[in-house]
Structures are given as C-alpha cells and as structure tokens.
Chain A
C-alpha cells in the first residue's frame, strides 16, 4: 500500500543554516509524484516543490531543493539559509495516478515541525 513516512516530529535550526527534513515513501507504481508543502501557524497549505518519479535531476525552487534517491525511496527536503519565516509544519506528499479511468490519489505524511532560532 502507498505510504509516506516522516520520522522527525520536530526539528530546530539556527537562522542562516541549512536543514534537511526527511521523507521516505512506499509505492509499487512506477509513475508517481512527490511534493512538499509548508503549513505556517495560519493554517494555509503552501506548495513548495515537486519531484516526478522519472525526473533525472533533483528539483530545486529557490532555497528549497529535493534530495531524491529513488532506490532508497526517499525524498528529503533541504532548506538552505534558513529564515525565521521558515518556522512551520512541513508535509511530504505523494501522488499516485493510474492511466485508466483518471484515478488520482494524493496522500501525506505526519509532518515535521521546524523551528528556526535566531
């Protein structure tokens, strides 16, 4: 069965340092997508970055990069040069699609709460 695991309930980092948030996944489908979302204390869900299962290169979006290791089924989020505004919950997610019938499922992990200290 499809599953997302985030083993770090909480992390803290000093401002301006880099931090890695872990995510492992399990699926038997060859085609899938991996996402990271940020949820600040306001509660909104903010899309950060996407990685496709067939992508050869790791995804990057500004200070965010995704360390994709397909054989290990891991998709860790790296935030470089942390800022105070990065303090939030971070969720890893996986999309499973099936080409027949449009089936499209999106599941999330338990999340990691990141605290950035000045």
Chain B
C-alpha cells in the first residue's frame, strides 16, 4: 500500500515562529504536493514538486517555502508563522511522467494552529 506520512497530526505554534511540516512517501513517487484546506475554500495548492530539488509555486505560495532534497521527502516551511496560516495542511504524492491518470495519495493531514 502507498503510504504518505505527515510528521504531526496536530501542531500549535506561536506567531513569528519558523514552522516545518514534513511529508514522507514510500512509493518512489516523482510528484509531491502541499495543500491547505479551509472550510468553503476546498484544497488550495501551495507548492508542488515533480522531481528532486524541483519546486513550483501553486496558487497560494505567499508566506511559505518548500524543500525537496530527497525524492521521498517534501517539507513545507512557514518562515514566520501568522494566525492566518492556521489551517489543515495536506500532503499528497503521485507518479510522475506525462500520464494524466495517476491517482494522488494523501497523508492524514496536519492541523496547525498559530496563536
């Protein structure tokens, strides 16, 4: 079974802290994605990566950065956490290449609260 693991289920951080959200997948997937999920807004893409050290901005990258030094790990970094970054964060991975039918597999989510 594909497994996507996010390092924490719940996190509480203070405003201004640097926050790291880690995501690891065990199926050798090329693609990895970070989303935030908010009521009424669905899943919004923050950043994605289709290869090691490759990263692309999604629709809402402001205030975030990412790192992908190894194929299996994709980290989301909040450089200086703010209260408006309180949200559920979802990581996903999928096979790469030119096929459009590759299913994405999701982690269990990290509920981040910034106080």
Contacts and interface: CB of A to CB of B under 8 A. Distances in A.
Interface range for A: 20 to 34
B59 to A, nearest CB: 7
Interface string B43-54: 111001011001
Interface string B9-37: 00000000000000000000011010100
Interface of A: 6, 9, 31-33, 35, 43-45, 47, 50, 52-53, 91, 93, 95, 97, 99, 101-111
Contacts of A99: 98
A31 B50 contact: no
A102 B4 CA distance: 21
20 contacts: A6-B42, A9-B40, A32-B100, A35-B103, A50-B101, A102-B50, A104-B48, A104-B94, A104-B96, A105-B48, A105-B56, A105-B58, A106-B31, A106-B104, A107-B59, A108-B35, A108-B44, A109-B42, A110-B40, A111-B43
Contacts of B103: 35, 47, 50
A6 B42 CA distance: 10
Nearest to A107: B45
Interface residues of B, number: 33
A91 B100 contact: no
B108 interface: yes
A9 B48 CA distance: 26
Interface of B: 30-31, 33, 35, 40-45, 48, 50-51, 54, 56, 58-59, 88, 90, 92, 94, 96-104, 106, 108-109
B54 to A, nearest CB: 8
Contacts of A102: 30, 50-51, 54, 96-98
Nearest to A95: B100
